[in-house]
Amino acid sequence: MPNPMPAPPTEQPSKATARVAYVMNAFPRLSETFIAHEIHELERLGLPLRLYAVKREPEPQVHPVVARIRAPLQHLPAVTSLGGSALLPWLWRNAGSFAGDHAALLRRRPVAWLRTAGSALALAWRHRKADAQGRTRLRKVFVKEFLQAGHIAAEVLRRGDVGHLHGHFCHGVATITWFASRLSGLPYSFTAHAKDIYQPELNPGRLLERKMAGARFVATCTCANAQVLRQRHVRPDEVHMVYHGLDTEVFRPPTRTPDDDRPPLLLAVGRLVGKKGFDHLVRACAQLRDAGVAFRCLIVGEDGPARAPLEALIAEHGLQAQVELHPPMTQDRLRALYAEARVFALPCQVMADGDRDGFPNVLAEAMAMGVPVVSTAISGIPEMIDDGVHGLLVPEGDARALATAVARLLLDPALHARVAGAARQRIEERFDARQTTRALRDLFLAQLVPAPAPAQPLTRTLDEALP
């Protein structure tokens, strides 16, 4: 097993004062803790950041890493729902929150503003949709994203300390970041993850290709994703694969085996949505019980559309004593569960609409903690797990194969120990955050432009902006 890398000293970027503005849909999110870890590690490497969240989503719990982030966070003005009205009534209700930003941009960069506004309206027209009454409506989402982009562009120009924009996920947030780049004149990039790549309706037409063409670089978290994106990019070399990393000092095997007389724990973690394949896990649990294998299964995750069907499936198979659904929890509490778990299962699957997981971070967390994992060979999962070496892979949708793999790990101590050790070694060698985030930091430094010196501060109200 390789020696852990020593913690590098804080490093200052060569282009000293320019920040990277991170644009996210919501922050912080329990289900996207990998973004918070990425931000913290970039700061630790000396890269100054400024954070923008499109919407405010209060979380019942927040991971401790969020408290260690120094970058200022700003939430964009709230907007009303896009459903149920035409464009002009929606604008009447919402444009006032953004009027000062756009008026100031129109004065400072009139050509850029007019061109970007034209692009947003063209997209809204080109991708118009029929409403419930069959009336054709402009696609308001592009107008909304233009308004929101104006707020970010005005803010970064007013503050004068941002030299690059970066969006997380390549659909709505990347569109906002693209518009903000055009409005401000600053370069941009974005990270693509999973469903945002594979669900066509999230980037209608050739919208993703247009956003990639304008970006300085595109990052993604698996080789499988990178291959797909390179096939669609006019400059394939500008797509970079950067794995999500994790702190291997925090996620490490427990020093002792839990003293517990209960049946061994089969753990699963993920949002209660179809692509996680938890329905197949419940069916596998029924087969394990019927085969006389002792276990208890805990599925930890944020509520989603799969919750009710899962509850019905648990009841249908009479598994209430063996299978429990538990609300989401912080990583500190999850680590205690990883330390207790005997096997971790995440039977991911590709949905009919193309939605899928790209790089399930919980698999890497379990492997780093020395918990043998069972999953499927989709997306980037085989990049983490060589079947039979770092874990066991089964065909997606195959509950019998899933039950067999779990039983092998529960009942074969030698296999369990061998897989657990190899899994930990794989994470140390390939997914240590100190390596992966350094690669992302270097991409930013290669593209970062000096922050523009702020001229007169951008005005904040329409009355102040107009002559």
80 pLDDT exceeds 80?
yes
378-411 pLDDT tens trace: 999 999 999 999 999 999 999 999 999 999 999 9
What ranges in 82-204 are assigned the alpha helix state H?
A: 87-94, 99-108, 110-126, 140-159, 172-184, 195-198
Is the residue at 258 inside a domain? no
Q: Which residue has the higher pLDDT, 374 or 456?
A: 374
Between strands 136-137 and 129-130, the pairing is antiparallel
What per-residue confidence (pLDDT) applies to 10? 37
Q: Which residue has the higher pLDDT, 331 or 171?
A: 171
Q: What is the mean pLDDT of residues 308-318?
A: 98
The SS3 of residue 33 is helix
What per-residue confidence (pLDDT) applies to 457? 47
pTM given for the model:
0.85
Q: What is the mean pLDDT of residues 270-294?
A: 97
4 pLDDT exceeds 70?
no
Q: Tokens 């670089």: give the residue.
A: 217
Shared domain check, 315 and 206:
no
* Exposed / middle / buried, residue 92 (Cβ in 10 Å: 0-12, 13-18, 19+): exposed
What per-residue confidence (pLDDT) applies to 191? 97
- Whether the CB-CB separation of 287 and 400 falls below 8 Å is answered with yes
Shared domain check, 229 and 305:
no
Rounded distance, CA 458 to CA 467, Å? 14
Rounded distance, CA 302 to CA 298, Å? 13
The SS3 of residue 349 is coil
Mean pLDDT for all residues in the chain: 90
Shared domain check, 39 and 188:
yes
Q: At what angle do helices 207-214 and 223-232 cross, to 10 degrees?
A: 90
Shared domain check, 380 and 350:
yes
What per-residue confidence (pLDDT) applies to 410? 98
What per-residue confidence (pLDDT) applies to 3? 38
List Cα–Cα distances, 15 to 11, 165, 444, in angstroms. 12, 15, 10
Which residues form the domain of 218? 19-245+435-465
Q: Which residue has the higher pLDDT, 10 or 202?
A: 202
Shared domain check, 89 and 136:
yes
25-71 pLDDT tens trace: 999 887 788 899 999 999 999 999 999 999 988 776 777 889 999 99
What per-residue confidence (pLDDT) applies to 448? 80
Q: Tokens 């060569």: give the residue.
A: 14
Is the residue at 123 inside a domain? yes
**Nearest CA among 125, 229, 136, 128 for reference residue 174:** 229
Is the residue at 80 inside a domain? yes
User: HSE (CB half, 13 Å, CA atoms) of 366?
Assistant: 28
Q: Which residue has the higher pLDDT, 96 or 59?
A: 96
Helix (H), strand (E) at residue 456: none
Shared domain check, 187 and 100:
yes
Is the residue at 202 inside a domain? yes
What per-residue confidence (pLDDT) applies to 258? 64
What per-residue confidence (pLDDT) applies to 451? 60
Is the residue at 166 inside a domain? yes
What per-residue confidence (pLDDT) applies to 454? 62
User: HSE (CB half, 13 Å, CA atoms) of 418?
Assistant: 11
Shared domain check, 423 and 352:
yes
What per-residue confidence (pLDDT) applies to 5? 36
What per-residue confidence (pLDDT) applies to 86? 84
- Whether the CB-CB separation of 127 and 139 falls below 8 Å is answered with yes
Q: What is the mean pLDDT of residues 213-226?
A: 96
Is the residue at 331 inside a domain? yes
- Which CATH number belongs to the domain containing residue 393 in this structure? 3.40.50.2000
What per-residue confidence (pLDDT) applies to 164? 96
Is the residue at 256 inside a domain? no
Q: Tokens 């518009």: give the residue.
A: 179
Q: Examine residue 372 and say whether the peptide bond preceding it is cis (omega within 30 degrees of 0).
A: no
382 DSSP assignment:
H
Shared domain check, 128 and 94:
yes
Range scoring the smallest mean pLDDT among 109-118, 175-184, 195-204, 451-460:
451-460
351-373 pLDDT tens trace: 998 888 988 999 999 999 999 99
Q: What is the mean pLDDT of residues 142-168?
A: 97
Q: What is the mean pLDDT of residues 214-238?
A: 95
320 pLDDT exceeds 80?
yes
What per-residue confidence (pLDDT) applies to 11? 38
Shared domain check, 280 and 222:
no
Shared domain check, 309 and 182:
no
Measured in whole angstroms, the distance separating CA 246 from the mean position of its chain's CA atoms is: 14
Helix (H), strand (E) at residue 438: helix 433-447
2 pLDDT exceeds 60?
no
Is the residue at 63 inside a domain? yes
Number of domains in the chain: 2
Shared domain check, 178 and 47:
yes
What per-residue confidence (pLDDT) applies to 132? 67
Shared domain check, 360 and 240:
no
